[in-house]
């Protein structure tokens, strides 16, 4: 506890969501190809910084292969992290002859000390420690973040337990964000599908156009049937076949509830 005396510095504090990221095995990548690795780091970091801005975050600083940002919203921070890892994974896939450059991301909601444009304190330290717990290309969040996002984002989580963190008195609950599938989390008790990214939304729109063409054909077949054979409804069978094709063409990883977008007020 900070003693409230006349000698106490005028420190400003705030509650914020801290986003920390670094590259797994960066030293080994530099040893293999120093110039190429630094060039790629700048390119990958530019992608991350752009996404941070799009999700209303603020870049605090960068050093070496690391990056720190803050978000007013834990939801935006986690959504940004998910988009970041998927975008960087796609970028790695575009360079199959290069060793993958994979970032680890840690996110924590906590109290921080503000000094100019920098932030310090336990809230930042926990985010940095969670980053070290994340898998390469993965995301690890604290329990405080989990409680804020678990009912607001359609993503899965894997509870990693209460972790002892260096220089932090109390254990910190840690959760892995699931990027590759859906998990039933015991603490939540229901399925949480992955969020729809820009690519998934494009695939869903393509499916909708495909379904609309099928609907036009289905109505045309029904009209022909009623005109030519009113007592025998053969149009049902083509309908069933088209329905099966639509089902098989459903974009992978997209929650069916996204078929009818909800109105936002």
pLDDT in tens, 23-49: 999 999 999 999 999 999 999 999 999
Question: Are residue 209 and residue 133 in the same domain, yes or no?
Answer: no
Question: Is the pTM here over 0.85, yes or no?
Answer: no
Question: Are residue 16 and residue 44 in the same domain, yes or no?
Answer: yes
Residue among 32, 61, 37 nearest 49 (CA):
61
CATH number at residue 104: 3.30.70.1230
Residue 111 has pLDDT above 90, yes or no: yes
For 143, the 3-state DSSP assignment is helix
Sign of CA dihedral 256, 181, 176, 105: negative
Task: Kindly indicate the confidence band of residue 265, based on its pLDDT and cuts at 50, 70 and 90.
Answer: very low
pLDDT in tens, 229-240: 777 777 777 778
Question: Are residue 146 and residue 89 in the same domain, yes or no?
Answer: yes
pLDDT in tens, 124-149: 999 999 999 999 999 999 999 999 99
Task: Kindly indicate the confidence band of residue 191, based on its pLDDT and cuts at 50, 70 and 90.
Answer: very low
Which of 144, 178, 212 terminates a domain? The answer is 178
Number of domains in the chain: 2
* Residue 160: inside a domain: yes
Task: Work out the angle at residue 69's Cα, subtended by the Cα atoms of residues 63 and 71, and round it to the nearest 5 degrees.
Answer: 175
């Amino acid at each position: 506890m900070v003693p409230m005396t006349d000698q106490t510095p005028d420190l400003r504090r705030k509650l914020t969501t801290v986003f920390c990221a670094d590259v797994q095995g960066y030293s080994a990548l530099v040893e293999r190809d120093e110039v190429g690795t630094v060039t790629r780091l700048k390119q990958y970091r530019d992608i991350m910084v752009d996404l941070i801005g799009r999700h209303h975050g603020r870049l605090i600083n960068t050093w070496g292969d690391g990056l720190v940002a803050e978000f007013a919203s834990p939801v935006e921070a986690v959504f940004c992290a998910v988009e970041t890892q998927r975008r960087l994974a796609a970028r790695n896939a575009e360079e199959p002859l290069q060793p993958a450059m994979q970032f680890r991301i840690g996110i924590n909601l906590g109290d921080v000390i503000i000094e100019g444009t920098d932030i310090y304190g336990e809230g930042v330290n926990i985010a940095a420690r969670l980053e070290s717990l994340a898998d390469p290309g993965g995301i690890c969040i604290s329990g405080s973040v989990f409680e804020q996002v678990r009912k607001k984002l359609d993503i899965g989580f894997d509870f990693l337990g209460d972790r002892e963190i260096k220089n932090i008195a109390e254990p910190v609950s840690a959760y892995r964000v699931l990027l590759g599938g859906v998990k039933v989390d015991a603490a939540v008790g229901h399925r949480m599908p992955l969020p729809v990214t820009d690519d998934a939304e494009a695939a869903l729109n393509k499916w909708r156009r495909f379904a609309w063409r099928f609907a036009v054909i289905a109505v045309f077949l029904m009209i022909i049937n009623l005109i030519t054979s009113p007592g025998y409804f053969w149009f049902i069978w083509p309908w069933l076949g088209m329905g099966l094709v639509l089902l098989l063409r459903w974009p992978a990883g997209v929650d069916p509830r996204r078929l009818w977008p909800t109105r936002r007020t």
